[in-house]
Amino acid sequence: MLALAILTLTAGAAFARDPASVDAKAAPPKTLTGYDISYPQCGGAYPRDIAFGIVGVTGGIVFSENPCLGAGGTDASQLAWAGLNAELYMNTGNPGPELSSHWPIGQTSPRECGTAARPELDTADCAYDYGWNSAADAYAAAVRAYISLGWAPPDATQTPVANRWWLDVETANSWRTDVSLNVASLQGAADYLASVGAASVGLYSVGTMWNQITGGTSAFAGHPSWVAGASTLRGARTNCGGPAFTGGSIDLTQYFAKGFDADYRC
């Protein structure tokens, strides 16, 4: 009797519908797009109806902070725009001891640089520490942004979620002619982010820049790639076919849409 009652109600409900609604085709679901923004978008509009958001933590160079990352500034928070589970990226570089005020002179961990026992400053170990320190600085900025939004307690030392992080590798930043030192700096940054529980650490670049900066190293083949360079969604989809500049997998490709940098998940 219970089953019969359910069938009767269901049939009645069907007959009660407007006949036009039975024949009407359901509207196709709206396809949402991923976007990435950073300090250049401060003071302007942000993309709307996003599938996912990626936010630049740094302000164009290492040891700098995107001024509208968190709450409390004059512009809307970009982390709030992307949401709790935002993906994050940071600028990278390796200017060397003569050009950087942040060079790790006298540092003993994670590697030794400029100490009495290891006085040399222009070494792979020093470059590694520089990359490690730059990532630590960017990560601390992300933690502060989460705190400012009330998404983490005031005394937090880690982000409340395990974000996906990306290392932005571009020739616009400072690099050494000895590519092995650049690779060491990138390795230090990747290792720091892994040490604090990042969900993954990937690399953003294009093949020509990657080859110039790193010599085309395959040291990061185990890390996902985010490939720039496409101007259309069709081009972004094509770029998913690789090859990846790191020699590994391609997770994201970037293109231009609605006045912003858009991203296609491969």
Residue 32, pLDDT score: 78
- Give me the residues paired with residue 222 across strands: none
Residue 242, pLDDT score: 85
Residue 73, pLDDT score: 84
Cα–Cα distances (Å) from 182 to 47, 159, 206, 212, in that order, read 34, 27, 16, 10
Beta strands in 126-238 (DSSP E): 164-168, 200-205, 225-227
Q: ∠ CA(59), CA(65), CA(67), 5° rounding?
A: 85
Global pTM value:
0.88
Residue 31, pLDDT score: 58
Could you tell me the CATH superfamily of domain 32-265?
A: Glycosidases (3.20.20.80)
3-state secondary structure of 7: helix
pLDDT digits (tens, 9 = 90+) for 61-81: 999 999 999 998 889 999 999
Task: List % helix, strand, coil for the chain (3-state, nearest 5).
Answer: 30, 20, 50
Cα–Cα distances (Å) from 151 to 71, 143, 145, in that order, read 11, 9, 9
Range 216-243 burial, b when 16+ CB lie within 10 A, else e: ebebbeebbbbbbebeeeeebeebbeee
Q: Which amino acid is at 71?
A: A
pLDDT digits (tens, 9 = 90+) for 94-104: 999 999 999 99
Residues of the chain predicted below pLDDT 70 = 1-31
Query: For the purposes of burial, counting CB atoms within 10 Å of the CB of 37, is it exposed (0-12), middle (13-18) or buried (19 or more)?
Result: buried
